């Protein structure tokens, strides 16, 4: 099993903000796991799947766009 990467590392790889990585995890564009910390009821950290980061990078490369993952990779009519 592959070890996950941090939100900070994923943001660096995808050249985006950490907040965008959190949004991508929440809406399913990236895969990851929450690890709840032993203190505090709602304290947790994310471990991001490096495979899902690599998939986004490949989609970005194939699309030729700077930020393919914005708008979940959907192109507007007439783009392409």
What is the pLDDT at residue 77?
Answer: 34
Task: Please indicate, yes or no, if residue 13 is contained in any of the structural domains.
Answer: yes
Task: Please indicate, yes or no, if residue 77 is contained in any of the structural domains.
Answer: no
* Helix ranges (DSSP H) in the chain: 7-14, 18-27, 50-63
The SS3 call for residue 47 is strand
Mean pLDDT by 10 residues, the chain (80 residues): 85 95 95 88 89 92 69 41
What is the pLDDT at residue 78?
Answer: 38
Task: Please indicate, yes or no, if residue 75 is contained in any of the structural domains.
Answer: no
What is the pLDDT at residue 63?
Answer: 81
What is the pLDDT at residue 40?
Answer: 73
Output the pTM of the full model.
Answer: 0.73
Sign, CA dihedral 6-16-13-78, equals positive
Domain count, the chain: 1
Sign, CA dihedral 65-67-72-76, equals negative
Task: Please indicate, yes or no, if residue 74 is contained in any of the structural domains.
Answer: no
> Residues 29, 42, 50, CA angle at the centre, nearest 5°?
30
Task: Please indicate, yes or no, if residue 20 is contained in any of the structural domains.
Answer: yes
């Amino acid at each position: 099993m592959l070890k996950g990467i941090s939100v900070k590392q994923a943001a660096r790889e995808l050249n985006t903000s950490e907040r965008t990585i959190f949004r991508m995890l929440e809406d399913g564009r990236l895969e990851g796991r929450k690890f709840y910390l032993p203190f505090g009821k709602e304290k947790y950290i994310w471990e991001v799947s490096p495979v899902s980061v690599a998939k986004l990078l490949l989609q970005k490369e194939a699309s030729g766009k700077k930020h393919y993952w914005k708008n979940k990779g959907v192109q507007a009519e007439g783009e392409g």
